[in-house]
Structure 1
Amino acid sequence: MKNIVIGSGPAGRLGSLELGKLGEDVTLIEKNHIAGTCLNEGCMVVCALTDITKFIDENNRFNNYGFLKSQLDISYEKIVEKITETQEKLRYLNQLENESVGNKVVYGEAKIEDGEVTVGNETFEWDNLMIATGARPFIPDIKGAEFGLTNKDILKLDEVPEKLNIIGGGIIACEIANIYATLGSEVNVIARSKFLKDLGSETKSYVLDKIIPHVNVMENTDVAEVFKDRVVTGDGDELEGVAFFATGRVPNSEIAKGFVELNSDNTIKVNEMMQTSVDNVYAAGDVTGGYQLTPVARMEGITAARNMARYSNKVTYNCIPQTLSLNTEVSFVKNEKIDLNDDEKATIAIPGIAGPGAFWKILEGNTGYTEIDFDKNNNKINRINSISPSSTSDVAYLSYLMRMDYDLDDYGDFLEIHPSTDTNYKIIKNLWL
């Protein structure tokens, strides 16, 4: 059967790769660059810049301690140049990976008209179709919004902005604030409601006080107007600096309008098998809404691909781990299917330990913080907020236990790697079992 995948972000790229591995005939169509937002404008760009800011943070710390004397001369232009070079290499490898299983990669803008898929003047026949066209930054209806930057503009900047006003209060806003504050910008974060509302209050306080102390966070504040060199809040305050929108994302679902059923927010409506309202048409990734995370998009793309190849598969969303890429990682997960009351819940909060990346932070009392809610009656983890250099792996491990509904006693045989996963040992084996 002929399979067409439109969009080569995490959902489309992994979905097409899965189809190819299953021996299917696959054409992957990409409008711009293979690997989508994650590699070209999103996660990987943030991670690359955060690697730089971690180095700057460590350099400043060691200078303050007096055993290292160095002065950094940072070239943002050169950083962008090397990120771009790396992206080109990864694009080549991602295309080669898809082609290695027999897939055909076509570049150009796909259109769907009367059920036909076309790119330019070429029409592609299909038996199964996956729409994985992703999402783009949401720009709120604010006067002067055209002057604002988004994640698409990070690699277009010639230099680090002297002053930056980030509009938004979520993960992206926090990550961008950390990057540019460390690089030397004077940063304001303007949140319409609460900042980092998915984090516990103590974890959020730690982030503000210990990780991004030089960032000015303004909660419950609206932006009335944006200018090229300043923003004006709803209260009439003028804040000098460039505006950066981190206000969410909207689906690139225009291609599917009138072809498949859309939800009220214009995301493509799918079931747990990633099927749309049209037979043999599937959708996956950010264009379907929900968790706009690379691992979730991959999971959805692979699920859609297996169903396209007639291997019945369903996707489930629970205990999805998330992280903030900061100078010290902040990771969190919650069991969305359980809402414990105070009588059912036990909470343990501990400071971070002196593992990798944290030893030299002990002198300043900045080794991290972890807070976990337990279900006392069922002996299971319900929620985790963790700040530590190893939190991304720690929370990934623990979220798996939560997702598989394991009892905490089953964790007794876990053997940690000292010192990288000592946090797991301290949280679970030492404090609970």
Structure 2
Amino acid sequence: MPATYDYDLFVIGGGSGGVRASRVAAAHGARVALAEEYRLGGTCVIRGCVPKKLLVYGAHFAEDLQDARRFGWDVPNCEFNWPTLRDNVLAEVDRLEGIYGGILENNHVEVFDQRATITGANEVTLADGTKIKAATILVATGSWPMVPDVEGAEHGITSNEVFHLDEIPKRAVIAGGGYIANEFAGIFHEFSCKVTLVNRGDTILRGYDEQIRDRLLQISVMKGINFVFNAPFERIDKQQDGSLMIHMTDHEPIEADMLLWAVGRTPNTVGLGLEKVGVELGKNGAILVDEDNQSSVPSIYAIGDVTDRVQLTPVAIREGQAFADTLFGNKPTRVDYHNIPSAVFSHPPIGGVGLTESQARDQLGSYKTYTADFRPMKNVLAGRNERALYKMIVDEGTEQVVGLHMIGPDAPEILQAAAIAVKAGLTKSQFDETIALHPTMSEELVLMR
């Protein structure tokens, strides 16, 4: 690269996608720098999927300890200590942040622990005023929790703050109907919190298969989680004792100790200077990019949640890899966005890949569905009435399995392997020809008739 550039690549954002792009580009021989204003690891590692999954594990012990008695274990009455779990989770986050820093250091990526903004097609300016020239700029700043424009909204918290609570609230209202809302509803409920999930719409987990999300709603209600639908927020009043009075349209106010906003995430582009240099943005602030992650300014690229294509960490990582291989590795690569598996770590969890039944109805000439509705063996002996539901969607013309959706214990763990089969285009008969692994829950995938 010409000597006028300080770096071949400058990455803004030290999350999973930005770190992957940085280290791969550096391994290809590029001179790389990265700026991160908060902590290396991004949303997923620092305040997202990783600490949340650890809380899910912690919450599951509430039921596991109860079930253990049915399996012969003399378990005394146990008390949950939130500060212990919280501090252990945060310590693990610190450990992972150190690993991310080590990855960048080992790959000779220079890291600037401060905010960077774009001040030219080939220029970034750090918070301390330092200007840096780069041949290519990659924006990987992720997304940010949305807070609605409602009077008193500032009295609520978001997923950014939820991992740092001093104590578990006795009463919590969770706003939203997506995966974050349902995951934290399950977590707080298992921690003996009275949970009410309030949604302005009439359904949860929009985009997931209807039978699967209905099963989660049924189980959640049976557990004791309250749901309020078609209830837009009007205002939140903070009372003298510190509690909140939450007012909604056409619904009685709800008193709570905590309000968690989980109403979606928006691309984190505010104040980056993108508009000033001509980068085209979408209505929600997302950076518009082509199949090669290139924006309307040829030297500026973007990956991950900031593009608002698919807001999943593994997708951001795959995009970062493709970007680096294409630009610096002489290996042109594009991400295939078809049949991306996803999971909801609710209680019980959900996993899904491919077409839902409603999508199959719209996109296929004819299709068949196969289901396995059963009570897992562990639940039977534990005396739990929760039933798992597996659903397979098949293109009737080709017999290809075009969708798999499941809810039940370990559903995401099971789905990962099954997603390979869906991605490979295997048929229903090929599933049927596979001998079942007995006794397991996953054997139901090859026994549907």
The two structures have a TM-score, normalised by structure 1, of: 0.91
Question: 1:53–1:327: 8 Å Cα contact kept in structure 2?
Answer: no
Query: In structure 2, how many angstroms separate the alpha carbons of the residues matched to 1:250 and 1:4?
Result: 23
2:253 is aligned with 1:238: yes
Given the alignment, which residue of 301, 321, 337 partners 1:302?
Answer: 321
Question: 2:360–2:367: 8 Å Cα contact kept in structure 1?
Answer: no
Cα displacement (A) at 1:403? 2.9
Residue 42 (structure 2) aligns with: 36
Cα displacement (A) at 1:60? 2.1
* Per-residue deviation, residues 148-177 of structure 1 (Å, max 9, x unmatched): 110011122110011111110111000010
Stretches of structure 2 lacking an aligned partner (at least 5 in a row): 2-7, 239-243
Question: 1:20–1:98: 8 Å Cα contact kept in structure 2?
Answer: no
Q: Which deviates further from its counterpart, 200-209 or 295-304? A: 200-209
Q: Which deviates further from its counterpart, 264-273 or 252-261? A: 252-261
Cα displacement (A) at 1:76? 1.2
SS across alignment from 1:197: coil
**Matched AA of 1:154:** V
Residue 369 (structure 2) aligns with: 347
**Matched AA of 1:257:** E
Query: In structure 2, how many angstroms separate the alpha carbons of the residues matched to 1:290 and 1:99?
Result: 30
SS across alignment from 2:161: helix
Q: Which deviates further from its counterpart, 237-246 or 221-230? A: 221-230
The two structures have a TM-score, normalised by structure 2, of: 0.88
Question: 2:371–2:448: 8 Å Cα contact kept in structure 1?
Answer: no
C-alpha change, 1:412 and 1:17, in structure 2 (3 Å) is farther
2:447 is aligned with 1:426: no
Residue 4 (structure 2) aligns with: none
Residue 159 (structure 1) aligns with: 167
Give 1:260-279 correspondences, 5 Å limit.
260-279=279-298
2:389 is aligned with 1:369: yes
Given the alignment, which residue of 287, 301, 307 partners 2:306?
Answer: 287
C-alpha change, 1:236 and 1:348, in structure 2 (3 Å) is closer
Query: In structure 2, how many angstroms separate the alpha carbons of the residues matched to 1:352 and 1:297?
Result: 35
* Per-residue deviation, residues 334-385 of structure 1 (Å, max 9, x unmatched): 3389633697121111134757xx4666643435211121111111122222
Cα displacement (A) at 1:392? 1.3
Cα displacement (A) at 1:412? 6.6
* Per-residue deviation, residues 247-281 of structure 1 (Å, max 9, x unmatched): 00111112123221111221000011111111132
**Matched AA of 1:60:** Q
Cα displacement (A) at 1:75? 1.6
Given the alignment, which residue of 220, 224, 241 partners 1:214?
Answer: 224
Query: In structure 1, how many angstroms separate the alpha carbons of the residues matched to 2:190 and 2:249?
Result: 28
Cα displacement (A) at 1:3? 1.0
SS across alignment from 1:227: strand
Query: In structure 2, how many angstroms separate the alpha carbons of the residues matched to 1:169 and 1:325?
Result: 14
Residue 203 (structure 1) aligns with: 212
**Matched AA of 1:388:** G
2:136 is aligned with 1:118: no
Residue 241 (structure 2) aligns with: none
Question: 1:272–1:316: 8 Å Cα contact kept in structure 2?
Answer: no
Given the alignment, which residue of 262, 267, 270 partners 1:251?
Answer: 267
C-alpha change, 1:352 and 1:108, in structure 2 (3 Å) is farther
SS across alignment from 1:13: helix
Question: 2:303–2:319: 8 Å Cα contact kept in structure 1?
Answer: yes
SS across alignment from 2:360: coil
Query: In structure 2, how many angstroms separate the alpha carbons of the residues matched to 1:316 and 1:73?
Result: 47
**Matched AA of 2:229:** E
Question: 2:183–2:347: 8 Å Cα contact kept in structure 1?
Answer: no
Given the alignment, which residue of 312, 315, 323 partners 2:332?
Answer: 312
SS across alignment from 1:340: helix
C-alpha change, 1:50 and 1:360, in structure 2 (3 Å) is farther
Cα displacement (A) at 1:73? 1.8
C-alpha change, 1:419 and 1:33, in structure 2 (3 Å) is farther
Cα displacement (A) at 1:50? 0.5
C-alpha change, 1:412 and 1:18, in structure 2 (3 Å) is farther
Cα displacement (A) at 1:399? 2.6
Query: In structure 2, how many angstroms separate the alpha carbons of the residues matched to 1:392 and 1:171?
Result: 14
C-alpha change, 1:417 and 1:300, in structure 2 (3 Å) is farther
Given the alignment, which residue of 74, 85, 90 partners 1:79?
Answer: 85
Aligned pair count reads 427
Query: In structure 2, how many angstroms separate the alpha carbons of the residues matched to 1:403 and 1:379?
Result: 14
Cα displacement (A) at 1:45? 1.7
Question: 2:25–2:32: 8 Å Cα contact kept in structure 1?
Answer: yes
Question: 2:341–2:416: 8 Å Cα contact kept in structure 1?
Answer: yes
Give 1:372-383 correspondences, 5 Å limit.
372-383=392-403
SS across alignment from 2:149: coil
Residue 326 (structure 1) aligns with: 346
Cα displacement (A) at 1:47? 0.4
Question: 2:71–2:382: 8 Å Cα contact kept in structure 1?
Answer: no
C-alpha change, 1:287 and 1:73, in structure 2 (3 Å) is same
Query: In structure 1, how many angstroms separate the alpha carbons of the residues matched to 2:24 and 2:436?
Result: 32
Given the alignment, which residue of 215, 227, 238 partners 2:237?
Answer: 227
Cα displacement (A) at 1:211? 4.7
Query: In structure 1, how many angstroms separate the alpha carbons of the residues matched to 2:439 and 2:141?
Result: 41
C-alpha change, 1:348 and 1:19, in structure 2 (3 Å) is same
2:193 is aligned with 1:169: no
2:89 is aligned with 1:69: no
Query: In structure 2, how many angstroms separate the alpha carbons of the residues matched to 1:199 and 1:335?
Result: 9
